[in-house]
Chain A
Amino acid sequence: MIDLFNLLIILIGSSMLYVSFTYRLEEYIKTLSIQGFLFFLIILLDFDKIEILNFIFLIIETLIFKTIIIPVFLSKILRKNHINREIEPYIPNYYSVIIATLVLAFGFFISYWSNDEFQNIRPLFFGISISIIINSFIIIITRKKIITHVIGYMFLENGIFLLSLSIAAEMPIIVNLGMLLDIFVGIFLLGIFVNKISSTFEELNIDKLTTLKD
């Protein structure tokens, strides 16, 4: 049982590596969907530890939102705005892969270290989630397109979701509600904004957003 858990977590962590070397936007969206499904499996395995209402809530969040709705919505935006499928990073992908690998290794190091130090968290969950959070920040910083920023934000949300699962005690449902609200922001509002920006500015790069400055 424990081994299956660890396998799923490591898969989620290494999916960030895949993101760092692919050049295609669709692959980013696919990865988001796969991560959502892996989260769903983790929740299923965790069934005995979670109370029923919260369990239903988490299932809806992972399976319906993270696995289906968000990726579909993002691909719709992609098609509607005729976004060029290339990622256009600021740094070559070769370096991105190296950085992402180092961050993942750092995550493993943290879990190794927190294994000895703390009793009330699950070490592997904790370490990997930190690595996902750092990696998604790197994605946001080093990519040019606005849509990649939105996807990077969704990866950040996934990292935080994993972090909240890392607590051995149960989070109150109000916190989960907050998570859902955050996803709402991420996907619908940012998505609508991408549409609006694409109709106002010619190209969807952050280089264009420089009318307001001092």
Chain B
Amino acid sequence: MIIAILFIFPILSSAFLFFFKNKQLNVVLTAIYSLIYLSIVMFLVFKPQQFTEFLKVDSLNVIFLLILAILQFGISIYNIDFLTHSQVSIRDHTLYSIFYQFFVMAMTGIILSTHFGLLWVFIEATTLITLYLINFNKTKESLEASWKYIFICSIGISLAFVGIIFLSIGNFNINSLFFEDIYKNYKNINPFWLKLSFLFILIGFGTKMGLAPVHSWLPDAHSEAPSPISAMLSGALLNGSFLGILRIFKVMRLCNLDVFAKILLLIMGFLSLLVAASFIVKITNYKRMLAYSSIENMGIIAIGIGLGGVGLYASFLHLISHSLTKASFFLTAGNVLHTFHTKETNKITGILKTDRYTGFLWIFSFFAIIGLPPFPIFISEFLILKEMIFTKNIILFIIFVILLTIIIFGLGKSVLKMVFGEKNEHIEKYKNSFWVYLPQTLFLIILVIIGLYIPNFLHKMIENAVNSL
């Protein structure tokens, strides 16, 4: 019953919004949806239940659901003020709200689905829905970005479909694509087809997740989308595809093929770090810089899963912290863009003197993403390094540390230059409305709490997820 609200509400409200076309109504209905969503998810977190055969909360996806709920709540708050000052037509404003709600709905579908086919359909659906949002500004650049996004992601998703077909060849005796059925009858799966299937699904969903050899759409799309959408893409969409990879990873683990899977994940993870490190140092567009940082963090998550052991726990912790941190970073980037009207790092100095509070948010988000204590990314990266030493992978340890240092240097160079220094002559001192500071502050407070003391229920949740894997 409850699940129906999550799916039916956006459909009804979109019809309503499309009919009335009123800016206030758009904002209010989106906010109401996000509030209902958050409260339902809070209820589900403590009382997991099955709704239908196809949609279910289990111990793995509950983390993803919680992240999505908090994230979309914050971003809806940000949306209250985001479009009011710009010269957006009423039609675009309405479509933005409608597609935003559909995006949240499709993400919920990805997270809750219990069937490989359905999971795939929902991931495809997010590609379609976010396309409009990425092309929202309708400039030459955003058109190019969205073309690359849809073409590369469609091909990636097709490859994932090939992987699913291989899986159904491999589990011929079971003839079902429900996760539960596959997990129960893992002994009947042919290992050859399973390996092939894992490879294709990893490449396919990895494209959407932004892992290295197939990441090329990500910087373009993230930099051209409106900032709240960049935050949603980075904080929620990438996680959703990662969940798809985890689902098939579990099958590999049950069939004792996890060495094969882990090596592939490690390769893709380290490649992501390498790509991020080599581009982030010389980058001139701060939104692209944040996008490369997302590639890096997805790489770290893949490495954590690839290492196993404590790495699994670290991966989930990193997943949570990265989503909140990157969302806060992208939203603050939206404030910076709004004040300075440029994405060029070189043209911006003295954010602190122009808009004091944005400057603080910018610098604290930076501290959070590079993993300075007390922020939780410190703990997750520390645990991953510990696991590397524990399994005697000293070479990996050294490469990891060097690449991470380069990335921190690259990020720090741009961020600190932007925050300090004299303020630009032609930029007026600017004060944004209260709504565009609140969500970032909220996210950063949650992060500090997790960093100082992981609440018991969160700790249990992560442990359950690790055990269910």
Contacts and interface: CB of A to CB of B under 8 A. Distances in A.
A182 B155 contact: no
Contacts of A197: 143-144, 147
Contact of A177 (B121, B157, B158, B169): B121
Contacts of A185: 124, 127-128, 150, 154
A201 B142 CA distance: 12
Interface string A170-214: 011011011101101110011001001100110000000101101
B148 A182 contact: no
Contacts of B282: 214
A73 to B, nearest CB: 16
B195 interface: no
A9 interface: no
Contacts of B151: 149, 153, 190
B313 interface: no
Contacts of A128: none
A139 B117 CA distance: 28
A214 B158 contact: no
A212 B121 contact: no
Contact residues of A: prevailing secondary structure = helix
A197 B118 CA distance: 32
Contacts of B283: 214
Interface residues of B, number: 41
Given A153-B151, A167-B165, A214-B279, A189 B131 contact: yes
Residue of B120, B124, B161, B283 with highest tally of chain A CB at under 10 A = B161
Interface stretch (B38-46, B77-85, B218-226): B218-226
A78 interface: no
A202 B220 CA distance: 21
Interface in B114-154: 115, 117-118, 120-121, 124-125, 127-128, 131, 140-141, 143-148, 150-151, 154
Contact of A133 (B125, B144, B146, B162): B162
Which bucket holds chain A's interface residue count? Answer: 35 or more
Contacts of A160: 158, 161-162, 165
Contact of A189 (B128, B140, B164, B219): B128
A212 B223 contact: yes
Contacts of A186: 154
A66 to B, nearest CB: 15
Given A157-B158, A160-B161, A186-B154, 17 more contacts: A140-B155, A166-B169, A171-B165, A172-B177, A174-B121, A175-B164, A178-B117, A178-B124, A178-B161, A184-B128, A185-B128, A185-B150, A196-B143, A200-B143, A209-B144, A209-B147, A212-B223
